[in-house]
Amino acid sequence: ASSLVVLEHNNKEIQQASLNALTAASQLGGDISVLVAGNNADSVVESAKKAAGVTQVIYANSPNYDGLLPESFAKAVVAAQEKFNFSHIVGPASTFGKSLLPRVAAKLDAAMLSNIIAVKGEDTFVRTIYAGNAVATVKSKDTVKIMTVQATSFDAAKLEGGTAGDPVALDVDGAQDQSKWISQELSKSDRPDLATAPRVVCGGRGLKEGSNFELLYNFAAKIDAAVGATRAAVDAGWCPSDMQIGQTGKTIAPDLYMAFGVSGAIQHLAGMKDSKYIVVVNKDAEAPFFQVADYGLVGDLFNVVPELEKKLAK
Amino acid sequence: LSLSLSLSVMLSRILVGCKRVVHYQLKPRVKPDKSGVITEGLQHAINPFDEIAMEEAVKLKEAGKVKEVVAVSCGPKAVQETIRTALAMGADRAIHVSMDDAQYEALQPLAVAKLLSKVVEKETPDLVFLGKQAIDDDANQTGQMLAGLLDWPQATFASEVELNEDGKVIKVVREIDGGLETINVTVPAVVTADLRLNEPRYVTLPNIMKAKKKKIEELKPADLGVDISPRIDVVSVEDPPVRQGGSMVADVDELVDKLKNEAKMF
């Protein structure tokens, strides 16, 4: 195999999910090139050279990559593919990768595999369907195999051990006038990042109203946890959409996941079932979520959370 | 009056993709021969994200910003049920790209994107609205692939769509990993709907009756010149590993003890 991994970055650092994608690519065997399309992203290039398994860094340097627009990035990926003819093109299953890779696949007339969770061979991969209710093993017949990688299913590659030399410049600037980045409102919090935090506290409908999320925020602060939510809680406007865990939200796999007032819909389960330890607190003893809990506690979250906070705080 | 009306209508057409899927509340079982999941006999519905896409198109029509909304769905005869739902929501007419059950079961996003691109050539819509993903294969590819094939801009994960005054640019707020992002894309464009774009309406009986009179044009993949044979083979479909759960603790003290001494999480 000779793979290309498309890195997502902010011109300074590589985003974590791309390092998980790198590990998936290393399981394909063979050389690994990475594409850094960015605007003066020299520090990203330096990190990428050192990343485990990387044999070549391809650098497309242009302000056209600001805003991570797929119309621009697809030009760079297609140009890299035309130049090097990779057997695999791999990206993170982040909103960036999910937007970009199918566009690239169509341009190259190749099918695509979304959110792979395992590599079985050069052409055979595993992914889930129906919100994780079934696991499909699939075999690609295309000459170039294009995929996004579920971050929680692969360890992050370390930024050491890479053998790449100076970056190879890619002769494409990604200019286009079809789309334009205007602004971003990133949710600000001092809590750890939900996607990568080792501990996650999650709230659902049982919290009854948005202001009660403060209870979870306070508890999370005491135990260094990220805070997530169910679709019901997000739909009710109790918290922003980037906190949603599940089939259509984020997929997480922390060491410890603690759910409060979450019934455990299959769509939610799809986003957290790979957590190492699952704690479920619900006052309804019949809540289906208890079936997957390592530790289930029937109780009123409004009493349990403050007590847990007192007894677990550092 | 007619002059001012025609001036206020900015777009001639929006094409909306509507996939027929197993109802989101149902959990399909894996086939004994591991070749797929059993969908026969299960209630089906319009893919929830496509329903949101349709709602957005109909709202633009009701606001006088677009003349016509056309629904399109690929699949066997049964997808006409899904198409009728789309028509009852407010689509003016529909296109059914028809195929048999076996072809539909093996239909993959790239093939759908190719079929849609041919429908786009025929219908010349200003915008194509699709759901961000279908809840059966969870692929999240078709909109991006369609945009790639057409070389149109794409706005995925849309939670807000606004047409500018001359109808040449749309402003889209997108749900991204860390929060929200606003982009402008030129028309024509592909937009994929996220959960919070809108709340789809309930279809009413009078509208269901009206929908029965609306036209559904039937096309075959061959009419569109598209090869829909799969590029990915399914080796096996299996049940996910069962998680051993169900252990209960009596109180917070026991939970704290287990977390500290058994799980060693604290």
Q: What is the pTM of this model?
A: 0.95
Nearest CA in chain A to B245: A292
Other CB atoms within a 10 A radius of the CB of residue A314 amount to 6
Q: Which of B148, B178, B233 is facing A187, going by the closest CB pair? A: B178
pLDDT in tens, A237-275: 999 999 999 998 999 999 999 999 999 999 999 999 999
* Alpha-carbon torsion, ordered B97, B98, B99, B103, to 10 deg: 40
Interfacial B residues in 126-185 facing A (CB < 8 Å): 132-133, 135-149, 152-157, 159, 171, 174-185
pLDDT over 70 percentage in chain A: 100
Closest CA to B56 of B139, B144, B160: B160
Q: What pLDDT is attached to residue B8?
A: 65
- Count Cβ atoms within 10 A of the Cβ of residue B24 and give its class: 0-12 exposed, 13-18 middle, 19 or more buried: middle
Residue A175 main-chain phi, psi, to 5 deg: -65, 140
Residue A190: which pLDDT band, with cuts at 50, 70 and 90? confident
Nearest CA in chain B to A286: B246
Closest CA to A230 of A256, A211, A212, A250: A250
Q: What pLDDT is attached to residue A313?
A: 85
Residue B25 main-chain phi, psi, to 5 deg: -85, -5
Cβ atoms of A34 and A5 within 8 Å: the answer is yes
Could you give the 3-state DSSP secondary structure of residue A242?
A: helix
Cβ atoms of A115 and A122 within 8 Å: the answer is no
Closest CA to B192 of B49, B67, B36: B49
Calculate mean pLDDT across residues A156-164: 95
Q: State the first-to-last Cα distance of chain A, in angstroms, to the nearest integer.
A: 48
Are the Cβ atoms of A186 and B178 closer than 8 angstroms? yes
Q: Helices A95-107 and A70-84: crossing angle, nearest 10°? A: 50
Is the Cα torsion angle A243, A276, A268, A115 positive or negative in sign? positive
pLDDT in tens, A108-131: 999 999 999 999 999 999 999 999
Interfacial A residues in 222-261 facing B (CB < 8 Å): 223, 231, 234-235, 240-242, 247-248, 250, 255-256
Length of chain A: 314
Q: What pLDDT is attached to residue B2?
A: 46
- A162 to chain B, closest Cα gap in Å: 28
Other CB atoms within a 10 A radius of the CB of residue A31 amount to 19
Q: Looking at the DSSP assignment, which residues form a beta bridge with residue B94?
A: B71, B216
pLDDT in tens, B43-68: 999 999 999 999 999 999 999 999 99
Whether B201 has a pLDDT exceeding 50, the answer reads yes
Contacts of residue A197, defined as CB under 8 A and 6 or more positions apart, other chains included, come to: A191, A224, A225, A226, A252, A254
Are the Cβ atoms of A279 and B237 closer than 8 angstroms? no
In whole angstroms, give the CA distance from residue B254 to residue B256.
5
In whole angstroms, give the CA distance from residue A252 to residue A202.
11
Judging contacts by C-beta atoms under 8 Å, the chain B residues touching residue A102 are 109, 140-145, 148
Closest CA to A74 of A87, A88, A60: A60
- Which two tokens mark A63? 């302000």
- Count Cβ atoms within 10 A of the Cβ of residue B211 and give its class: 0-12 exposed, 13-18 middle, 19 or more buried: buried
CA distances from A154 to A55, A117, A135, B240 (A): 20, 8, 17, 18
* Largest CA-CA distance found in chain A, in angstroms, rounded: 62
Are the Cβ atoms of A297 and B255 closer than 8 angstroms? yes
Cβ atoms of B70 and B127 within 8 Å: the answer is no
ipTM above 0.85, yes or no: yes
Calculate mean pLDDT across residues B201-229: 97
Residue B7: which pLDDT band, with cuts at 50, 70 and 90? low
Are the Cβ atoms of B110 and A110 closer than 8 angstroms? yes
* Largest CA-CA distance found in chain B, in angstroms, rounded: 78
Are the Cβ atoms of B252 and A308 closer than 8 angstroms? yes
Q: What pLDDT is attached to residue A189?
A: 83
